[in-house]
Amino acid sequence: MLITDVEVEGYGRVDVRLGGGRVVGIGRPGARRGDVDGRGGALLVGLHDHHVHLAALAAEAASVRVGPAEAGDRDGLVGALRSGPQGEWVRAVGYHESVAGELDRWVLDDFAPDRPVRVQHRSGALWVWNSAALRAAGLDGGGHGGDGRFWREDERLRGFTPPVRLDLRGVGARAAAYGITGFTNADPHPGQDLPELLSVLPQRLVVMGIGDAPVKFLLDDATLPTPGELAASVAAVRPRPVAVHCVTRVQLLVTLLALEETGPVAGDRIEHGSVIPAETMPWLARLGVTVVTQPHFPVERGREYATDVDPDDQAHLYRCRSLAEAGIPLAAGTDAPYGSADPWAVMRAAVERSGGEAVARRAALDLFAGEPHRPSRVKRLAVGSVADLFLLHVPLKEALDLMSADVVRATFVGGRRITPPE
C-alpha cells in the first residue's frame, strides 16, 4: 500500500509505503498515484488502550446505563429499570450511590418488582440482584448473597444469567474510528477461551494472564495480603511481569514493599495508581515500575470524589504530570466500560487537569502511543516499524489543538485498513 502526501514527524510531507505488515519506505512525494491520498494530514503510530475490559465493554450494547450522568436520581433509576418488557432480565451498569443510595435486593424489589434485575456498581466490583433475579437463578436460598449483593463474584454468577450479546464487532469499529490499533485487556481472571472470543476484533490484543502478558493481581483492602504474602505470589509467576491493581494508599504501599522484596522486572505495572502520595514517588521511580493511570476519572467523577474520597487523599488522585516529572514511566488506559472508551476524551482530561497535574498536549497523546508490552516506551513511525497507524484529516498541530476523534480519517493494523473506505 502506498499512502501519499502525509505529514510524518521528522520527515515533513512525504509518501509512505507499507508492505509485509511494516513500513517499508518513507520518501519525498512522487508522481505516482497512491492507494490513499493523505491530503497533507498527519500519519501517526496507532493508539493503544493500555487498560480496558473488552467483554464488559461489548456487553454494554445489551445493558442499561444508570450512572449519575444517565439516571441522575432515584426517579431516573426507577424509570430505567422499568423501561424494558415486563418479565425480561435487566442488566444495568455504571451505578453509583449518588443516584439513589446503597442498593440491596429489597431496594431493587421496590424499584422494579416485576422483572429480574441486576445492577453493577460503577467500580465493576459489585453486582446487586433483586428477588426476581435471585429466584430465576435459583439463588434465593438465603445464606451468602441473601441480600442480593455479590462482591467480585462475576465468575460464579456467569452461569446463572441468560447469555448476554457481546457486540465485539461494534467495539472494534468504534475503536478503529478513534485510531486505536491495540488493546490490553485487564480482566483479573481471564478464561483460556477469552483470546479466541476477542479474536473478532481487528486490533492487536494483549490479554493479561495469557501467554507472556503481565499477570494481574487484584487487591482489595478487606482481603489485602501482607507484603510478604504478595511478594510470594509475585515470585511464583516470575520471570513474568505483574500488573497490580492499586486504588488505595495501603494497596500501593503493600505493592511497593512486595516488589522491593522480589525485585522488579521489565514490564511490571501499577494499574490505576488512584492514590499516590508524594513521598512514594521517589520509591516508584527507583523501582522503575510503570503506572497505567486514568487521568479522566477526576474529571468524570469529580463530584462523587469530592465526597467519597478521604480528604487526605484528594491531592494524590490519579497523578499525571507529577509522575512524569518524577521520572516514573507513565501510560494511560480508558478502563472502559468503567470510564469513557474514547482515548481522545482521556487526553483532553489530561490536558485540562487541575492541581498541577495537567500535561502538554503531545504528552497526552503519548500516553496512548506506547508499545503494547512496554506502555511508557513511545513508538515512532520509521522504516521497519510495524504498520499499525492512523491517518488524520489535518496536520498534527491542528489535531492536538482540537484533541478530538473527529480528526481521525483512517486506521491501519499491519498495513491493512480497518476503517471503512471513504
With beta carbons less than 8 A apart as the criterion, state whether 357 and 317 touch. no
Q: Which residue has the cell 511497593?
A: 256
In the predicted structure, residue 116 carries a pLDDT above the cut 90: yes
Q: What is the mean pLDDT of residues 45-64?
A: 94
Q: What is the mean pLDDT of residues 109-114?
A: 93
pLDDT band at 141 (very low <50, low <70, confident <90, very high): low
Per DSSP bridges, beta strands 242-246 and 215-218 are: parallel
Predicted confidence at residue 377, as pLDDT, reads: 97
Range with the lowest mean pLDDT among 26-40, 108-122, 204-218, 368-382? 26-40
Q: What is the mean pLDDT of residues 169-178?
A: 98
Q: Which pLDDT tens digit goes with each residue over 314-340?
A: 999 999 999 999 999 999 999 999 999
Q: What is the mean pLDDT of residues 18-45?
A: 92
In the predicted structure, residue 391 carries a pLDDT above the cut 90: yes
Cα–Cα distance for residue pair 13/10, rounded to 1 Å: 10
Q: What is the mean pLDDT of residues 55-80?
A: 93
Predicted confidence at residue 161, as pLDDT, reads: 86
With beta carbons less than 8 A apart as the criterion, state whether 373 and 381 touch. no
Cα–Cα distance for residue pair 270/274, rounded to 1 Å: 10
Higher pLDDT, 230 or 307: 230
Cα–Cα distance for residue pair 197/208, rounded to 1 Å: 14
The alpha carbon of residue 363 and the mean position of all alpha carbons in its chain are separated, in whole angstroms, by 18
In the predicted structure, residue 252 carries a pLDDT above the cut 90: yes
Per DSSP bridges, beta strands 180-185 and 47-52 are: parallel
As beta bridge partners, residue 269 has 243, 290
Percent of the chain with pLDDT over 90: 84
Cα–Cα distance for residue pair 204/410, rounded to 1 Å: 16
Percent of the chain with pLDDT over 70: 99
With beta carbons less than 8 A apart as the criterion, state whether 368 and 182 touch. no
Q: What is the mean pLDDT of residues 4-13?
A: 96
In the predicted structure, residue 145 carries a pLDDT above the cut 70: no
Cα–Cα distance for residue pair 112/78, rounded to 1 Å: 7
Q: How far is CA 261 from CA 227, 230, 231, 351, in A?
A: 8, 10, 6, 36
Average pLDDT, the chain: 94
Tell me the three cell numbers of residue 113: 418488582
Q: Please name the amino acid found at residue 342.
A: D
Q: Where are the alpha helices (H) located in 209-248, listed in sequence order?
A: 227-237
Q: How far is CA 22 from CA 16, 366, 385, in A?
A: 11, 21, 6
pLDDT band at 157 (very low <50, low <70, confident <90, very high): confident
In the predicted structure, residue 31 carries a pLDDT above the cut 90: no
Cα–Cα distance for residue pair 283/138, rounded to 1 Å: 50
Residues 6+ apart with CB under 8 A from 118: 89, 90, 91, 92, 127, 128, 129, 130, 133, 161
Tell me the three cell numbers of residue 125: 466490583
Predicted confidence at residue 422, as pLDDT, reads: 80
Range with the lowest mean pLDDT among 107-121, 151-165, 217-231? 151-165
Tell me the three cell numbers of residue 32: 505516482
- Phi, psi at residue 126, to the nearest 5°? -130, 135
Could you write out the DSSP letters of every residue in 146-174? TTSEEES-HHHHGGGS------HHHHHHH
As beta bridge partners, residue 13 has 7
Per DSSP bridges, beta strands 330-332 and 290-293 are: parallel
Residue 382: how many CA atoms within 13 Å on its side-chain side? 4
Q: How far is CA 413 from CA 380, 385, 386, 418, in A?
A: 15, 12, 8, 7
Per-residue burial over 251-270, b if 16 or more Cβ lie within 10 Å, else e, is bbebbbbbbeebebbebbbb
Q: What is the dihedral of CA 5, 8, 11, 17, to 10 degrees?
A: -60
